[in-house]
């Protein structure tokens, strides 16, 4: 009989790909996921925040957990010793990616109304998001670029290379339309700023319908199904059905 090794108490569906964590980080992930689930169910009952905040919170939590649990390569699954470069067994670069991904996902919410203040004697001004739609500020382009890159890396870690390659191919098609080899494929193209505008700002791209549906409907059904499976509700329903109608044919 094989003996299970590892100290990670979390058991995701693809647990063979997730790294083994140190005890403190493991408990952090436990508490974070419980609060994350409670947030979704509480907001489902009493009303969700404004869409750009809700989707930003959902995406930020997902990205942070992905970079904590999933190593860059399969060789990083084994538990590694905690240290300055790997707090809790998670390499420092993965902490940076997770935190940066969360920050870029929440930037839309923080900057929605714009701001105007002085920092160390320097005025810092940003128009509200409605006035930046179509003409993103340089900082929007920076955050949008970071978020796209981080989402591509998170997707590669969890799913594999195929989907990121498809996304990059279509991004290349949008950017290099005038240089397509066949006339039927040629188009004026867009610059990087406009691509970020369409991909990063709400209503299109990342903060579009798929993320909204995932954060308001899909998440709840998946979590309920997982909890029901762990509690044995599936077997309970089968047993009850057998008791009630097991003696009948058909």
Sequential pLDDT tens for the chain (250 residues) = 444 444 444 444 444 567 888 888 999 999 999 999 999 988 887 888 888 999 999 999 999 999 999 998 876 665 666 677 788 888 999 999 999 999 999 999 999 998 887 877 788 888 888 888 888 999 999 999 999 999 999 999 999 999 999 999 999 999 999 999 888 999 999 999 999 999 998 777 899 999 999 999 999 888 888 888 888 777 777 777 777 766 666 5
The Cβ of residue 97 has, within 10 Å, a number of other Cβ atoms equal to: 23
Question: For residue 230, how many C-alpha atoms fall within 13 Å in the half-sphere facing its CB?
Answer: 10
Map residue 9 onto helix, strand or coil: coil
pLDDT at 7: 42
Cα–Cα distance, 130 to 112 (Å, whole number): 8
Q: Structural domain boundaries of the chain?
A: 23-247
Map residue 99 onto helix, strand or coil: helix
pLDDT at 79: 60
User: If phi over 0 gives left and psi between -120 and 50 gives alpha, with beta otherwise, what is residue 19?
Assistant: beta
pLDDT at 66: 95
Nearest residue to 107 (alpha-carbon basis) of 67, 43, 59: 59
Q: Which helix (H) or strand (E) holds 115?
A: strand 115-119
Map residue 126 onto helix, strand or coil: strand
Cα–Cα distance, 21 to 183 (Å, whole number): 53
Quickly list H helices, the chain: 23-46, 51-69, 92-110, 129-132, 138-158, 162-175, 192-200, 209-213, 219-231, 233-245
* First CA to last CA distance, the chain: 40
Quickly list H helices, 47-114: 51-69, 92-110
pLDDT at 62: 97
pLDDT at 67: 95
Cα–Cα distance, 218 to 126 (Å, whole number): 34
Is residue 158 within 8 A of residue 66, CB to CB? The reply is: yes
pLDDT at 145: 97
Give the relative orientation of helices 233-245 and 219-231 as an angle to the nearest 10 degrees. Answer: 70
């Amino acid at each position: 009989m094989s003996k299970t090794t590892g100290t990670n108490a979390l058991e995701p569906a693809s647990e063979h790909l997730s790294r083994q964590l140190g005890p403190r980080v493991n408990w952090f992930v436990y508490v974070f996921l419980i609060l994350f689930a409670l947030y979704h169910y509480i907001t489902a009952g009493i009303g969700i925040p404004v869409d750009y905040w809700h989707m930003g919170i959902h995406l930020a939590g997902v990205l942070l957990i992905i970079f904590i649990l999933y190593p860059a390569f399969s060789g990083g699954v084994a538990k590694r010793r905690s240290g300055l470069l790997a707090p809790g067994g998670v390499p420092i670069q993965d902490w940076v990616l997770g935190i940066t991904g969360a920050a870029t996902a929440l930037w839309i919410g923080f900057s929605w109304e714009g701001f105007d203040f002085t920092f160390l004697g320097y005025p810092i001004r940003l128009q509200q998001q409605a006035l930046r739609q179509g003409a993103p500020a340089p900082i929007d382009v920076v955050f949008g670029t970071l978020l796209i890159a981080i989402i591509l890396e998170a997707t590669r870690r969890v799913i594999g290379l195929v989907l990121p390659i498809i996304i990059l191919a279509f991004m290349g098609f949008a950017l290099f339309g005038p240089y397509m080899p066949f006339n039927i494929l040629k188009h004026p193209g867009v610059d990087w700023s406009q691509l970020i505008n369409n991909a990063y700002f709400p209503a299109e791209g990342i903060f579009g319908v798929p993320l909204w549906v995932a954060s308001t409907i899909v998440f709840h059904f998946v979590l309920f199904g997982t909890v029901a499976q762990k509690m044995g509700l599936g077997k309970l329903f089968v047993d009850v059905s057998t008791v009630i109608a097991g003696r009948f044919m058909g």
